[in-house]
Homo-oligomer: A and B are copies of this chain.
Amino acid sequence: MSDSTNILIAYFNRHIPLNYEEEEAVKALFKERKIRRRHYLLQEGDICINNCFVVEGCFRMFMVDKNGKEHNLQFSTENWWISDLYSLFKREPSRLYIEALENSTVLYTTIDELLQLFEDYPTFSHIFRILTQNALVSQQQRILQYVSSTAEERYLDFAKKRPELFNRISNVQIASYLGVTPEFLSIIRKKIAKS
């Protein structure tokens, strides 16, 4: 069994302690995959069939709008999940891209294996209901912030909430996540530095 799988098991145990059988099920089901920097885990038009857990590295999920501009929706680093839930659950082509920002390692299962796991071991159904709830809540917080604050406030908040990410990725990526151009982010940074 790989180190990677132990990391995932430790992750699950932090939510709900797994018994021996459940740990074995994780070891049997999840497969490891390495993705090199600038390579894609998912591209627009693909049907997302894998649910991925980031063991090591960093990904960004983004969409391309009708003018060809990219908009980052989410970053995932160690101990985060990354997949297009819309495509995964609806089994329809994705409108999103998932790109590795660093050389990375993930553990993944197909959606069908995951649903089977939920049936065989209710513990996992329970864990994923909580994970989905948490994701929903944090998305709602993001919408709240989006409608009610300026780019400068979002920038400061991002620096505060995700300091490790903040120092790990480029300002171009941060700007895209905050919904501004890199040029305007530069102006914001100058203004903050002055004050």
Contacts and interface: CB of A to CB of B under 8 A. Distances in A.
Interface of A: 63, 65-66, 69, 71, 73, 85-86, 89-90, 95, 122, 125-126, 128-129, 132-137, 139-144, 146-149, 179
Contact of A89 (B66, B71, B85, B137): B137
Contact of A144 (B73, B122, B134, B140): B73
A140 B66 contact: no
A46 to B, nearest CB: 16
A148 B63 contact: yes
A96 to B, nearest CB: 8
Contacts of A85: 133, 136-137, 140
Looking at chain A's contact residues, the main secondary structure is: helix
16 contacts: A65-B148, A65-B149, A66-B148, A71-B144, A73-B140, A73-B143, A86-B141, A89-B134, A89-B137, A122-B122, A128-B129, A129-B129, A132-B133, A139-B139, A139-B140, A147-B179
Contacts of A129: 125, 128-129, 132
Contacts of A90: 137
Given A122-B122, A139-B143, 10 more contacts: A65-B148, A71-B144, A71-B147, A89-B133, A89-B134, A90-B137, A125-B125, A132-B136, A135-B136, A147-B179
Nearest to A139: B139
A144 B87 CA distance: 14
A25 B150 CA distance: 47
A186 to B, nearest CB: 20
A128 B132 CA distance: 10
A75 to B, nearest CB: 14
